[in-house]
Structure 1
Amino acid sequence: MLELFDSGSEAAWLRSFRFAQEVRPRFCEIDGLGHVSNVIYPVYWELGRLRYFGAIGEADDAPRRAFAFNHMAVEIAFRMLRPSFYEEELLVHTRTVAVGRSSATMEHALTATESDEIRAIARIAIVASDGERAIPWTPGQRTRLEAFEGRTLSR
């Protein structure tokens, strides 16, 4: 079972995120029980990841729009902790926890805006790609990621 923090340390784990994106579930994202459908969570993780890379900005030595579009999720593990509902104000928290040659490991949390109650968590492996093969992160991309996260990111 996916566990990204020790019991009782949820608040400290959430404070370690430097980026959050607002999201408000639409009616089409709701299941028959009135909850956000389980198939929607990966959409929220991807929205968070794309906006996260957009906030970091492009590196001078990277291809145009590399952070925004030149990566793909290759492994997704997520866990729903509590339900989320239509029109509820939520935050998708996103951070990078490790960077390899062409891959990275990211973590996400979905929280209620008003209470910081964690609704879902995720760990996602991504790979930078040109569409056919993995391509290494540039030194500039690594520098920007580490500056944004405020720490060295390595495997």
Structure 2
Amino acid sequence: MEFKHKKKIQIRFGDIDLIGHANNGVQLSYLDLARMDYFQQLYGEVIDWNDSALIVAHLEIDYLSPITLTDKIEVHTKIFRMGTKSVGVYQNIVDLKTGEIKTKTSQVMVAYSKILGASINVPDILKIRIREFESEVVG
């Protein structure tokens, strides 16, 4: 599977727990940073999410190998499925030196209107941009 979006992550000293590993919760912030970068790349600008947004509704995560302070990592992001009101996202945290997947995730993001306070259809412009960017999208 090809990931066209890759975001390098700087590991900070405060990310590391007493065992010397990047805390599991901190790894979620790495995924958030990469997702925001992914959508900014899709749109070519910073997005105003007030009208419509994609929010994480479901997350499956496998911590496969520890991440340490000296590791060089990046997050690979891919939208692999589009539905009427949601998209499926894969994100992996990958060691830049070895190519090893350290953390593997599968997510469902739901289109949501802050104004309406309810789920909405995935905006057409977003569907168009995703199809232009990703070569393999189901739906």
Question: Structures share a fold, TM > 0.5?
Answer: yes
TM-score, normalised relative to structure 1: 0.79
The residue identity in structure 1 corresponding to 2:11 is P
Q: Does 1:21 align with 2:21?
A: no
Task: Give runs of aligned pairs for residues 101-120 of structure 1, distance below 5 A.
Answer: 101-120=84-103
For residues 37-71 of structure 1, the C-alpha deviation after alignment (integer angstroms, 9 at most, x for no partner) is: 1111211111111111111116xxxxx634xx712
The residue identity in structure 2 corresponding to 1:71 is L
The residue identity in structure 2 corresponding to 1:151 is E
For residues 84-141 of structure 1, the C-alpha deviation after alignment (integer angstroms, 9 at most, x for no partner) is: 1114221100000111112111001111112211111000111111121112122221
Q: Does 1:34 align with 2:17?
A: no
Residue in structure 1 matched with residue 76 of structure 2 by the alignment = 93
- Residue 151 of structure 1: how far off its partner (Å): 3.3
Conservation of the 8 A alpha-carbon contact between 2:80 and 2:136: no
Q: Alpha carbon RMSD of aligned pairs, Å? A: 1.8
Distance 2:130 2:136 in 1: 9
- Residue 21 of structure 1: how far off its partner (Å): 0.2
The size of the alignment, in residue pairs, is 134
- Unaligned regions of 5+ residues in structure 2, if any? none
- Unaligned regions of 5+ residues in structure 1, if any? 1-12, 59-63
Residue in structure 2 matched with residue 53 of structure 1 by the alignment = 39
TM-score, normalised relative to structure 2: 0.88
Conservation of the 8 A alpha-carbon contact between 1:26 and 1:87: no
